[in-house]
Amino acid sequence: MITRVNPGLKKDLVEFGLQDWNDCFHCGNCTALCPLTRNDNLFPRKGIRLAQMGLSEKLATNVDPWLCYYCGECSDSCPRGAQPGELMMVLRRWLTATYDWTGLSRKFYTRKSWEFSAIGIIAAVIIAIFVFLLPPANDLASNPEAYLNDQGGVMINSMVTGIDSEHFMDYIHTGDLIMALIIAGFLISNILNMFLKVIINDKTVRIPFRSYFTEFWRLIFNFGTQARFSKCDNKSYWVGHLLLMTGYTILFTMIVAFLPKFQIEEITPWYNWQRILGYYATFGLMYFLIYTTIGRIRKSDQKMRFSHPSDWIFIVLLGLTTISGILVHIFRLTGLPAMTYYTYVIHLAILVPMILIEVPFSKWSHLAYRPFAIYFDHLKKAARKKAAKVQFAAA
Ligand code: SF4
Ligand code: SF4
């Protein structure tokens, strides 16, 4: 196989946030100290080397950046201050754009005007839809009781005039399912592209067919537990990440798949399953948001010292979505229909662009790429093990 050097790789990586890599003199300290690296798969130094040499095709087949959880221990120990942990982060952004066949991921990561414009357009469409459908402001102010149920709570599904509550829920639910299909279409096609680059294009290994099934549990297990992260010295990173991931996944699943059961007119007791799940998810998201916002402002931890614009956009969108969701809940319980409805529209105007942009093209996509990378890594490991056995038997 011909190995091509890409002289433009450094310039490309600079667009994804690379600062300087030439400080690295390959002492190997970072790899020796990394709690996640393995003898048969050494990182982060290998990735630094590939990047320095301009081997972009090899980098695209390499899943190492996804195996790193950015604990920052390697950067703390680098004698040259070369920030290897941050380089892994840059490579994850670059790989996300490399897997994405639409080119949107690259635009969103490297041109902030694209991301802001996309967020603005989607938000404007959501607001425009509701501006004509919400009850008149004077009616909400003069006759708020008409929008309350017999428990005194706001009837959330009656916020649209001309559509009865049952049908309003149908429309919202259909919109959710369409959104989920769009996201799944982009994400699955990008994962197939990742599979092509990582597994099919890597001619050094041949994956035994059986391994696709026997190793599959790793994908599910690592998605559900983020267990690799717990091997880093600072366990609070893993706890924060797990709370964020489980909270987000619960809310996403409830909103997209089970909205008619989740968003009901009745004000249920606090111990009802819908509210318990909602409170858990809110706690997880708020814990992560407070922790990461303070960390990034203070720059106290190595992993939070460098913030790319995409990190802040993610935090701001997630923060506004969470806070507006909490406010909708409070306004509903306290019987304030106008505030509930207006805040709900604002909530949707932030939530929908966040999901449509961040999940398939930006920061949230790592929730899918990382477990798949772990899965692909173990497929290759199984293939090498089998090849070694065959070689040994033949010798
Ligand atoms: S990044 Fe730092 S610790 Fe790692 S090999 Fe380079 S100089 Fe050594
Ligand atoms: S940031 Fe942590 S997990 Fe990532 S390469 Fe460095 S030491 Fe390993």
What are 346-360's pLDDT values in tens digits?
A: 999 999 999 999 999
Residues forming beta bridges with residue 38, ordered by sequence position:
41
Residue 322: inside a domain, yes or no? yes
Q: Does the CA dihedral 144-149-151-153 come out positive or negative?
A: negative
C-alpha to C-alpha distance for 342 and 60, rounded to whole angstroms: 45
Do 191 and 257 fall within a single domain? yes
What pLDDT shows up at residue 286? 95
User: Which residue range forms the structural domain that includes residue 27?
Assistant: 9-99
d(CA 186, CA 200): 20
Burial of 50 (0-12, 13-18, 19+ CB in 10 A): buried
pLDDT for 3 beyond 80: no
pLDDT at 308: 92
**pLDDT recorded at residue 233:** 86
Which ligand minimizes its atom distance to the CA of 35? 2
Nearest Cα to 21, choosing from 42, 41, 50? 50
Count structural domains, the chain: 2
Q: Lowest mean pLDDT: which of 161-170, 175-184, 223-232, 285-294? A: 161-170
The verdict on the CB of residue 48 being under 6 Å from ligand 1 is yes
Q: Please tell me the residue having the least CA distance from ligand 1 atom 7.
A: 24
> pLDDT band for position 2 (50/70/90)?
low
Phi, psi dihedral angles at 148 (to 5 degrees): -110, 150
Instruction: Looking at the structure, tell me whether residues 92 and 113 fall in a common domain.
Output: no
Q: Are residues 234 and 112 in the same domain?
A: yes
User: How far away, in angstroms, is 91 Cα from ligand 1 center?
Assistant: 16
Phi-psi region of 288 (alpha: psi -120 to 50; beta: other; left: phi over 0): alpha
- Could you tell me if 94 and 131 lie in one domain? no
Identify whether residues 218 and 367 lie together within a single domain: yes
67 ligand 2 Cβ < 6 A:
no
Contact present, 161 and 135 (Cβ < 8 Å): yes
> Does the beta carbon of 76 lie inside 6 Å of ligand 1?
no
pLDDT of residue 146: 87
Q: How many percent of the chain have pLDDT more than 90? A: 63
* 251 part of a folded domain: yes
Q: Is residue 320 part of a domain?
A: yes
Q: Are residues 266 and 371 in the same domain?
A: yes
Residue 283 counted as domain residue? yes
- Rounded to whole angstroms, the Cα distance separating 336 from 267 reads 14
**Residues 277 and 361 occupy one common structural domain:** yes
Q: Domain boundary residue among 82, 99, 116? A: 99
Instruction: Compute CA distances 333 → 67, 135, 142, 165, 278, whole Å.
Output: 44, 19, 19, 18, 14
Structure tokens at 8: 């433009």
Percent of the chain with pLDDT over 70: 98
Clarify whether residues 218 and 363 are in a common domain: yes
Same domain membership, residue 139 and residue 88: no
The number of the ligand nearest the C-alpha atom of 302 reads 2
Domain boundary among 99, 119, 151: 99
Predicted confidence at residue 135, as pLDDT, reads 85
Q: Are residues 38 and 176 in the same domain?
A: no
- Nearest one of 292, 293, 290, 349 to 325, comparing CA atoms: 349
Alpha-carbon distance 325 to 348, whole Å?
Answer: 9
Domain ends where: 48, 66, 99? Answer: 99
Residue 163, pLDDT > 70, answer: no
Nearest CA to ligand 2 atom 3: 68
Phi, psi of 154 (to 5 degrees): -70, 135
379 Cα distance to chain centroid: 24
Classify residue 301: in a domain, yes or no: yes
CA distance 81 to 366: 26
Q: For residue 84, which atom of ligand 1 is closest to its CA?
A: 1
d(CA 86, CA 305): 9
Is 385 contained in some domain? no
**Rounded distance from Cα 48 to ligand 1 centre (Å):** 9
Q: Is the pLDDT of residue 361 over 90?
A: yes
If pLDDT is split at 50, 70 and 90, which confidence band does 166 have?
A: low
Q: What is the mean pLDDT of the chain?
A: 90
For the segment 73-78, the average pLDDT, to the nearest whole number, is 92
Query: Has this prediction a pTM greater than 0.75?
Result: yes
Residue type, 254: M
Answer yes or no: is 392 within a domain.
no
Residue 394 in any domain: the answer is: no
What does the buried/exposed string (b/e) look like for 297-321 if buried means 16 or more CB atoms within 10 Å of the residue's CB?
eeeebbbbbbebebbebbbebbbbb
Do 157 and 85 lie in a common domain? no
State the pLDDT confidence band at 252, using cuts at 50, 70 and 90.
Answer: confident
Give me the mean pLDDT over the 245-251 stretch: 91
Summarised one tens digit per residue, pLDDT across range 186-213 is 999 999 999 999 999 888 888 999 999 9
Ligand 1 pocket test, pick from 80, 88, 91 with the greatest ligand atom count within 8 Å of Cβ, gives: 80
Kindly indicate the confidence band of residue 302, based on its pLDDT and cuts at 50, 70 and 90: confident
Give, using CA atoms, the residue closest to atom 8 of ligand 2: 34
Query: Are residues 160 and 287 part of one domain?
Result: yes
Q: Which of 32-41, 72-81, 187-196, 279-288 has the lowest mean pLDDT?
A: 32-41
At 222 the pLDDT is: 92
- Whether 41 has a pLDDT exceeding 90, the answer reads no
As given in the structure block, the two tokens for residue 194 are 């990742």
**Cβ of 48 below 6 Å from ligand 2:** no
